[in-house]
Structure 1
Amino acid sequence: MTNTPAIAEVYLRPGDYHFGGPNTRIRTLLGSCVSLVLWHPKARLGGMCHFMLPTRGRPTAQLDGRYGDEAMRLLRAAADSSGTCFSEYQVRVFGGGNMFPTRLPGNRQHIGLQNIAMARFLVAEQGLICHGEHVGGIGHRNLIFDIWSGHLALKQSPPLSISGPSGVSST
């Protein structure tokens, strides 16, 4: 009988991030929020963040993962402390959906699109190459990242219908 290491499951809520080693699976549920997923194929290290807004707009001493620019800095610090070279990480971007397409049909810059733009900016700013993305559209995404293999599982679902006081769906 072999001793297989236990898999640690980490669930990210908005504003959370996690960086870890090979026996880790990270999950999250995204709507208009965005996740940056980092993976180092040789070291079998990786991380994910779940940010809600592109930026806070004012620097503070305490970084907050709810903001894209600060979430990237938190991930970068974790990767740097592992002794790996940040430029060797593969990055992928997920999320940024329009959660209210019937309420904001003409809004070309809903918060999801702003988050996507920030994620792309941050990837370029860090000198990383985006190895894939699944962004925009409508609805939410369930995302699972297995650090030991770099495997990502994604399921996109339409937004839930919103019922008014009479119980009639508005979508």
Structure 2
Amino acid sequence: MSRRIFINPGGIFFGNGDVRVETLLGSCVAITLWHPERKFGGLCHFLLPSRITNLHLASERDGRYGEEALLQLTAEARQRGTELSEYTIKLFGGSRVFDSEPRKTSIGEANAHFALDMLKHLGLPVARQDLTGYGYRYLRFDLSNGDVWVRRGRGVSTSQRVPEPQ
């Protein structure tokens, strides 16, 4: 039986084995990393793109911020002798949940754009994405095989597997 680990906002997990990492996303964004040869991966769940204060003045990294969460995932990958370019990267979330001004960019859309721009700047391709829109996403990342499942909406029972790239 798989071990289930739930990641709260600001959380980061990196590991392997018969583990299912799960999270619930609204305006937040999750980045998943999967190393297809070594069979391990990671997930971060961030709330905002970056801190208002200078990152260099912070005493430690905070997973609530996208740039710091990606730095932590990078450090975890390097501790295992790998680089992010070796991973399959997928992005999820960035929805409008409580936005009363639909013409303005929402926090979720800002998070999604930030993640896409950050990975593009680093030269890292995004294999799959399920970003923006309305409502929540329940995400399950299976570390035994790299599969990611997403259930969307408010009480909607549709569920889909996000396939690996061919």
TM-score tier by shorter-chain length is 0.7 to 0.9
| Residue of structure 2 in register with 1:38 after alignment | 33
Tell whether 2:115 aligns with 1:119.
Answer: yes
| Residue of structure 1 in register with 2:8 after alignment | 13
Once residues 119 and 45 of structure 1 are traced to their aligned partners in structure 2, the CA distance between those partners, rounded to angstroms, is 21
Matches within 5 A, 1:72-151: 72-101=70-99, 103-107=100-104, 109-151=105-147
Task: Report the identity percentage.
Answer: 38
Q: Secondary structure at the match of 2:4?
A: strand
Once residues 126 and 14 of structure 2 are traced to their aligned partners in structure 1, the CA distance between those partners, rounded to angstroms, is 18
Q: CA deviation at 1:105?
A: 2.0
Give per-residue Cα distances to partners, 1:31-75, cap 9 Å, x unaligned.
000000000000001000000001003212310000000000011
Q: CA deviation at 1:123?
A: 1.3
Once residues 76 and 5 of structure 2 are traced to their aligned partners in structure 1, the CA distance between those partners, rounded to angstroms, is 16
Tell whether 2:153 aligns with 1:157.
Answer: yes
Computed over aligned residues only, the root mean square deviation of the Cα atoms, in angstroms, reads 1.4
Once residues 65 and 36 of structure 1 are traced to their aligned partners in structure 2, the CA distance between those partners, rounded to angstroms, is 12
Once residues 41 and 148 of structure 2 are traced to their aligned partners in structure 1, the CA distance between those partners, rounded to angstroms, is 12
- Select between 140-149 and 121-130 the one with higher mean Cα deviation: 121-130
> Which among 11, 26, 29 is matched to residue 24 of structure 2?
29
Uncovered stretches (5+) of structure 2, i.e. residues with no partner: 156-166
Once residues 24 and 83 of structure 1 are traced to their aligned partners in structure 2, the CA distance between those partners, rounded to angstroms, is 21
**1:90–1:128: 8 Å Cα contact kept in structure 2?**
no
Q: Structure 1 length normalisation: TM-score? A: 0.84
Uncovered stretches (5+) of structure 1, i.e. residues with no partner: 1-5, 160-171
Amino acid at match of 1:21: N
- How many residues are matched? 152
Q: Secondary structure at the match of 1:121?
A: helix
Shift >6 Å, 4+ stretches: none
Q: Secondary structure at the match of 1:50?
A: strand
The structure number with the bigger radius of gyration is 1
Q: CA deviation at 1:26?
A: 0.4
Give per-residue Cα distances to partners, 1:111-170, cap 9 Å, x unaligned.
0011001111221233211001000000000000001111111011149xxxxxxxxxxx
Q: Structure 2 length normalisation: TM-score? A: 0.87
